[in-house]
């Protein structure tokens, strides 16, 4: 099963890397599927000699990019493309990210890119986000206890480690049948909450890798 998932991530990563053109500035996501994309992009730089600059969403993705020879820069100018993984995606394009704690940087790059590609394998495509059930938050540490008190009805759990930016990471248990957008908006309105992990993505830009090496999209 693990090998099947790795093959699926590799397929999605290769398909994504194939969309990158010479000279592009590309946002590099965090997680196993995004790592496959970074490695595939590095292979194109090595084998085809294309020139690409990457902007990483985490120290982990920066390390992988360094290993495969992708030069890095800071965010600023508009990105040509960004790619990342996801924890769950529903039929409406609502997407949960943040299991790796990098959702703040991921949103910054996703919204500054002309095109945002999401890389997943088939288990990440769900009929409802209730199948995932967790909404992560990035919170200023000073406000963490207050935020957890205000959201006590959602069984908040603070992770032991902070994000790369030093934010407290708090996971909310979203009840089945709840309105995910409403829950995310409620959390975001609290002082000290920097961001949450609910995104909306374009289904035709969700690349689903399969163990046999083929890819499809979620559209």
For the chain, the C-alpha Rg in angstroms (whole number) is 17
Q: Among the options 6, 106, 131, 150, which is catalytic?
A: 106
Q: Which two tokens stand for residue 8?
A: 């699926």
Pairing, β 168-173 against β 94-96: unpaired
Strands (E), 29-162: 53-56, 81-84, 88-89, 94-96, 116-121, 134-139, 157-158
Task: Please calculate the CA angle 79-80-81 and round it to the nearest 5 degrees.
Answer: 90
Angstrom distance (rounded) from CA 98 to CA 108: 13
Q: Which residue has the tokens 């590609």?
A: 117
Angstrom distance (rounded) from CA 215 to CA 192: 40
Letter string b/e over residues 80-89, b meaning 16 or more CB atoms within 10 A of that residue's CB? bbbbbbbbbb
* Cα 189 to Cα 102, 137, 164, distances in angstroms: 20, 12, 23
Q: 131 an active-site residue?
A: no
E strand or H helix at 171: strand 168-173
Residues acting as catalytic residues: 106
């Amino acid at each position: 099963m693990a090998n099947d998932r790795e093959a699926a991530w590799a397929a999605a990563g290769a398909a994504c890397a194939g969309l990158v053109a010479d000279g592009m500035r590309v946002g590099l996501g965090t997680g196993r599927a995004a790592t496959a994309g970074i490695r595939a992009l590095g292979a194109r730089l090595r084998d085809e000699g294309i020139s690409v600059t990457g902007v990483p969403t985490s120290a982990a993705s920066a390390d992988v990019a360094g290993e495969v020879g992708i030069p890095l820069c800071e965010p600023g100018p508009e990105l040509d493309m960004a790619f990342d993984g996801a924890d769950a995606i529903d039929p409406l394009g609502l997407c949960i990210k943040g299991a790796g704690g990098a959702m703040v940087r991921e949103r910054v790059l996703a919204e500054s890119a002309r095109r945002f590609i999401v890389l997943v394998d088939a288990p990440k495509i769900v009929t409802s986000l209730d199948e995932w059930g967790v909404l992560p938050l990035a919170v200023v540490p000073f406000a963490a206890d207050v935020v957890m008190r205000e959201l006590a009805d959602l069984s908040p759990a603070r992770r032991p480690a902070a994000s790369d930016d030093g934010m407290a990471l708090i996971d909310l248990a979203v009840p089945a049948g709840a309105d995910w957008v409403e829950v995310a908006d409620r959390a975001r309105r609290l002082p000290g909450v920097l961001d949450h992990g609910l995104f909306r993505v374009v289904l035709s830009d969700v690349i689903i890798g399969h163990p046999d090496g083929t890819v499809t999209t979620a559209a």
